[in-house]
Amino acid sequence: MAISRIENVSRLVVGNWKMNPKTEKEAITLFKALVKTVPEKSKLVRVLLVPAVYYASLRAVKQKVISLGVQNIHHELDGAHTGDIALSMFNKQPLYVMCGHSERRALGETDQDVNKKVLLTLKAKSKVILCVGEKERDHGILFFGVIRDQLEKALNQIPRKDISSIVIAYEPVWAIGKHAPRPATAEEVREVVIFIKKVLVDLFGPSVLPEVKILYGASVDSKDAQDLVQEGGVDGLLLGRASLDPKEYARTCAAITY
């Protein structure tokens, strides 16, 4: 199991399998296929966020190139929460926990819930992938307010010392999924990255900037990966569908390894 110090690496690729694949057997096969695509001595840090029920079996696969995490935890430590999973229930603690994905927010997850998940994850010494992003891109500046609000609320009471354990993923909701008309342009990404940095500086001071990785995710594939990273100014990518296809995964990772 690879343990990555995210603050010291230049690029990061996080795969989000969502509710895929259909069986544990397929999950193990797909995971091994993704592991196989990793070139020797690759400097790219790779994380895969898998369905919780597959987590233990995938942890058992012997490999050192992809760190594993989960896509969600409950925001309470225990209690009457039918069907939910607490962080402590994982036999081996996930290295990464995604908090605030728009598909969870759409199911009713509030900014306060996201904040509790972030705090619990950091307390347990796991790392956070915090997703933020506007539902609609207006022609003015209103969407910046949405992003500021999500960040301020999610990062409320986060100790300064823990900030390097947080990766922020900018995922504009309008660009996610196979029905999205298009991914964001590199220019659209760049302006939000600058804005996210500004909010981080307002919250924690300028020394925080080198410690926080910012990713872009939403309909990314190998064609636009390089442009999004280079011109968009992000430290890496959050892949949905591209992390379910080993060939496309390999091409996308290769596109940002330079």
- The catalytic site residues sit at 101, 171
Residue 91, class by beta-carbon neighbours within 10 Å (0-12 exposed, 13-18 middle, 19+ buried)?
exposed
243 three-state secondary structure:
helix
Contact 128, 94 (CB under 8 A): no
Does 224 contact ligand PGA by CB under 6 A? no
Angle between helices 142-154 and 111-123 (to 10 degrees): 40
Note whether 69 binds ligand PGA by CB under 6 A: no
What character string, x for contact with ligand PGA (CB under 6 A) and - otherwise, covers 4-33?
A: ------------x-----------------
| Cβ-proximal residue to ligand PGA, closest one | 240
Between the alpha carbon of residue 135 and those of residues 42, 116, 170, 172, the distances in Å are 35, 22, 12, 6
User: Which residue of 21, 51, 177, 246 would you call a contact of ligand PGA, by CB under 6 A?
Assistant: 177
If binding is defined by CB under 6 A, does position 171 make contact with ligand PGA?
yes
CB atoms within 10 A of CB 193: 19
Work out which of 228, 239, 253, 256 binds ligand PGA, going by CB under 6 A: 239
**Rule CB under 6 A: which of 199-218 touch ligand PGA?**
217-218
219 counts as binding ligand PGA under rule CB under 6 A: yes
Q: In the complex with ligand PGA, which residue's Cβ is closer, 113 or 171?
A: 171
Determine, following the binding rule CB under 6 A, whether residue 229 of this chain makes contact with ligand PGA: no
Alpha-carbon distance 29 to 155, whole Å?
Answer: 37
Residue 258: CB partners within 8 Å, gap ≥ 6? 226
Question: Which of 75, 162, 240, 256 is the binder for ligand PGA (CB under 6 A)?
Answer: 240
Residue numbers of the site for ligand PGA (CB under 6 A)?
16, 171, 176-177, 217-220, 238-241
